[in-house]
Structure 1
Amino acid sequence: MASSSHLPWSRFKAAEPAPSSDRTSFTLSPTTSFPTDVWRKPGPPEVKTFNAPIMYKTIPLSAFKRARVTISGNWSRLYDQGGLAIVLQDPKIILDTDRKWVKTGIEFYQEEAYVGTVAADRWADWSLLQVGIKEGKMVTLEMERDTEADTLWVYVIDGKRRHPIREVTWILSEPDVQAWVGVYAASPKPDEKELEVKFEGWELEVTE
């Protein structure tokens, strides 16, 4: 296996320049002038949104092994969120709003911080847990490939413990595609207060 420290960062509608490849801590702030999100659901009304700030590294999906980061933020509005993301770059899919992806991070819901995980194939689903969130509304999350089953597992890291919270069975099965692997932040219900999401201890492992 190899670290991805040599891979360049890229950005999609990011609020600041992409960091140099050796940085492991950085901040994303979604715009406060319009709603941002990575989400879709059938109607009525149908929703397809893919306009959140994302910082990512592009790798072959087949090379993905593990990603980890610690997330914190000044969460205050409904659906304020930020975390890890994998976005498939299937050349057959033209629109960003139709791409397949998985995201996991903190999401603010009913005045509390949860770990929210969403997987989007044709449409998206959504799960919420209150596991491993520290004071200051901080959590460390990890996505890892199960090499035997070739599925993606999402873990909450709590000290030396890894709490398995979600298995996504299909996201790693797409052959011969590139993937964005990185972090995102979104504020679907913006107001005058700016959301600031901090990411620390970024790690990405890929196979040789």
Structure 2
Amino acid sequence: MASRIPFSQFANPNADVISSTSTAFQLTAESSTDIWLKPVSSPANKFNAPMLYKTVSSSSFRRARVTVSANWNTLYDQGGLILVFPQADGTQKWVKTGIEFFMDEVYVGTAVADRGADWSLSQVGIRNNEVTLEFKSQEGSLWIYVIDGEKEIPIREVTWALSLGDDLGMWVGIYCCRPSVSEEQLVVDFRGFELDIV
């Protein structure tokens, strides 16, 4: 039977949780916050974005969904769903998907990091600077969907994410970032959050 559970942890508290309930949240991100990784050491490598999350076992994870919106207006502004896989050496592997502001437009940006991160962009399902996103466990893989009305639009399959083992648990949550330099904070609204585990 599925269980819906609220967040219990907050990472990188360089921004405030403005308000929270069990299904609706508002996070702020300061300038120069990001989640990014290159295979070699780089000044751009960062893991300092504010996140609300719950630690669960990857074997118990079934689904996470949220609707995200904001006044996206600065290059690389972003917010959405994230999975983080802490490693024994103190590093992290991760998967994130959310709205991302690029070239003066909003996209669904998805990035996956193992030894380095890759990145893809899509414009499916975005309406009025808002999109509904879903992570789902299917046949051993993590699938990433954009939810557009009743339609689930698949945008990525990550085959390794849920097979890393349960030794250190897996963070499931929401994040926001403002990687560019700005004097203003990015305020991101999250609603309709669901996390299903067994």
**Secondary structure in structure 2 of the residue aligned to 1:87:** strand
1:1-208 equivalences under 5 Å are: 1-5=1-5, 7-14=6-13, 15-17=15-17, 23-32=22-31, 35-42=32-39, 45=42, 47-90=44-87, 92-94=88-90, 98-135=91-128, 137-146=129-138, 148=139, 150-177=140-167, 178-207=169-198
Partner SS state of residue 172, structure 1: helix
For these two proteins, the number of residue pairs brought into alignment is: 196
Identity of aligned residues (%): 50
TM superposition score normalised by structure 2: 0.93
CA distance in 2, matches of 1:12, 1:170: 24
* Structure 2 Cα separation of the partners of residues 58 and 154 of structure 1: 19
1:109-155 residue CA offsets vs partner (Å, 9 max, x unmatched): 000000000110010000000000002x0000000000x2x000000
**Contact 1:9 1:18 (8 Å CA) reproduced:** no
CA drift of 1:17 comes to 4.8
Q: Which amino acid aligns with 2:164?
A: E
CA distance 1:164–1:152, change in 2 (3 Å)? same
If the length of structure 1 is used for normalisation, what is the TM-score?
A: 0.88
Query: Residue type matched to 1:120 in 2?
Result: A
After superposition, the CA RMSD in angstroms is 1.8
**2:89 partner amino acid:** I
Letter of the structure 1 residue corresponding to residue 135 of structure 2: M
The amino acid of 1:192's aligned partner reads E
